[in-house]
Structure 1
Amino acid sequence: MTSTPHLRRPDPSHVRQEWGTVAENSLRLERDVAEQLVTALNSEISGLYILFNQVRKHYWLAEGAEWGPISDFLEDAADRLTEMTDDIAIRITALGGVPACGPMGIRQHAPIFIEEAHHYDVRSSLERDLDGYATLAVQWREHIELADQLGDVATSELLRRHLKTLEADAHVLDRYLADDTLVLRDATG
């Protein structure tokens, strides 16, 4: 019988920068400005990780009469969340920070909660997805304002561009959740 290989813990002597620190950056933003932005962006990235996993789970579990278009939307939405996550992680690095990753860092900074592992009905799942998108959108507006106040136009523009995507996807979810539908429901429905 073969044994399962175990990953070795990284050697601490190989750490180039500890998580939670902000180093000098090539953008020549003052360190205190960069620290505020990295904290804000790590909250964004943490929320995106959680929302991505939740949307992806709902894509895997989607079922029912409207399964096709909902499944297609959720698959595409997960791809858009991945793109946003990458863009923000790259910006965090440019600011001299280390992007949040791993369960502990993500939970510590995320503005949304991780959904239980259960299989929920489609309407409840989409309602939670919409709530996640809306929560992130509200926070992003605050962080756009922060970036503007701190004079970081590039971070502000990055968040604005992706905020449009968050809002567009929230609008689609809201339309899926509309009361008017062609699908017949039973009296409890």
Structure 2
Amino acid sequence: MRKLNIGLSPEQREGVIGLLNADLADTYLLIIKTKKHHWDVVGPQFRSLHELWEEQYQAMSESSDKIAERVRALGGYPVGTAKGFLEYATLEEHPGDIPTAYGMVARLLDDHEQVIRNLRGHVDRCSEEFGDEGTADFLTGIMEAHEDMAWMLRSFIEGVSIEPDGDKPGSELKLPVEMK
């Protein structure tokens, strides 16, 4: 086997691979949770949530494949078993518990926000601790996708009506001084 020579030491690559495997595990667990809610949701918002979650788990599935391929590009092997995912994941399961549609959205939002916090830390560690700017950039893109998904979920549960001009009720429109 030819030695990998990409400007990172084996120790640097091993550190990054560990972070990526943790991100892969969280992504996979979040896919499972999103798919489960996709199957179980009921109520007046069924169709919109069912379709939103399908879009999200498909996007995360593509993302998980890219994370696994990044692990391989760095000379490692991605975690790929249910046991491995549970060992690496920071997200919690809720077996046997089927919340309301609102509760499902809130749980998935909490999970996306946890993933975002983890990714933010991993971006910093890839760059500062392991000197791998390529993976830091790669994880930034993954983080941005989770931020978009979290925004969609957050928008659903905020439940604040919006006035026709786009302002929240009761808030004053603050114009820059030059516009007054």
The bucket for the TM-score relative to the shorter chain is: 0.7 to 0.9
CA displacement, residues 131-162 of structure 1 (integer Å, 9 cap, x when unaligned) = 11000000000000011112212111111111
Shift of 1:76: 0.2
Identity %: 22
Alignment deviations for residues 116-136 of structure 1 (CA, whole Å, 9 cap, x no partner): 133321111111101110000
Alignment partner of 1:178 out of 151, 158, 165: 158
Question: In structure 2, how many angstroms separate the alpha carbons of the residues matched to 1:113 and 1:27?
Answer: 36
Given candidates 57, 81, 93, the residue that maps to 1:78 is: 57
Name the CA shift for 1:180/1:107 in 2 (closer, same or farther; >3 Å): same
Question: What letter corresponds to residue 117 of structure 1 in structure 2?
Answer: G
Among candidates 36, 57, 61, match of residue 57 of structure 1: 36
Contact 2:79–2:85 (CA<8 Å) still a contact in 1? yes
Partner in structure 2 of residue 137 of structure 1: 116
Match of 2:147 among 167, 185, 188: 167
The number of residues matched between the two structures is 160
Instruction: Using the TM superposition, give the Cα deviation of residue 28 of structure 1 relative to its aligned residue in structure 2, in angstroms.
Output: 4.0
1:147 aligns with 2:126: yes
Gaps of 5+ in 2: 162-180
Q: 1:36 corresponds to which residue?
A: 15
Gaps of 5+ in 1: 1-22, 182-189
Tell me how far 1:24 sits from its aligned partner. Answer: 5.0
Aligned counterpart, 2:76: 97
2:87 matches 1:111: no
Are the equivalent residues in 1 in contact too, given 2:31–2:57 (CA < 8 A)?
yes
Output the aligned Cα RMSD.
1.8
Relative distance call for 1:26 and 1:93 in structure 2 (3 A) is: farther
Identify the residue that residue 170 of structure 2 maps to in structure 1.
none
Alignment partners' CA distance in 2, 1:114 and 1:93: 28
Please give the per-residue CA displacement for 1:6-64, whole angstroms capped at 9, x wherever unaligned.
xxxxxxxxxxxxxxxxx953534210000110111110000001000000111111221
Task: For residue 163 of structure 1, report the CA deviation from its aligned partner.
Answer: 0.7
SS across alignment from 1:177: helix
CA contact (8 A) 1:52 1:82 kept: yes
> 1:24–1:140: structure 2 CA closer, same or farther, 3 Å change rule?
farther
